[in-house]
Structure 1
Amino acid sequence: MDGWLARCLRPFKAVADYLNAIAGVPDYQRYLEHMRRHHPDQQPMSEKEFHRWATDEKYGGKGIRRCC
């Protein structure tokens, strides 16, 4: 998206990013940016690997545990 539509949607994206961060939703693009800046010599995980890693980190490596 470019132009006026992107500018109009920017505040909504910022709010969505903020809410996702509060809820603990992993951000793959942010991870890629981090890897590019801080670990350029390492191969980043694929998006699927990244989300599996984030889920394992959040739920103790055993996937999603539910009470019912």
Structure 2
Amino acid sequence: MNDSDRVQWHYTPFDSVGPLRFGMSHEEASAAMELQGFIGTVSSTHQRHGALDFLAVFRERTAPAYVRAVTGYL
């Protein structure tokens, strides 16, 4: 996939990346990603990342299940 084929998101340091804002709950992140055409799963992490307990994995709605477009820690 070429970069020109990918969804282009803006990044604001310490604030947001595309539709995701730092500090969102997993429910808020899932809802924001769904509005952008992504589906995903949120699960407890096996290895904690500081205070972050959940791993969120999103893919475009039409992509195969094994393709990850966005991985986040919540």
Confirm or deny a common fold (TM above 0.5): no
Query: Is the radius of gyration larger for structure 1 or structure 2?
Result: 1
- Whichever structure has more strand as a proportion of its residues is 2
Larger relative CO (CA 8 A, sep 6+): 1 or 2? 2
The structure carrying a bigger helix percent of its residues is: 1
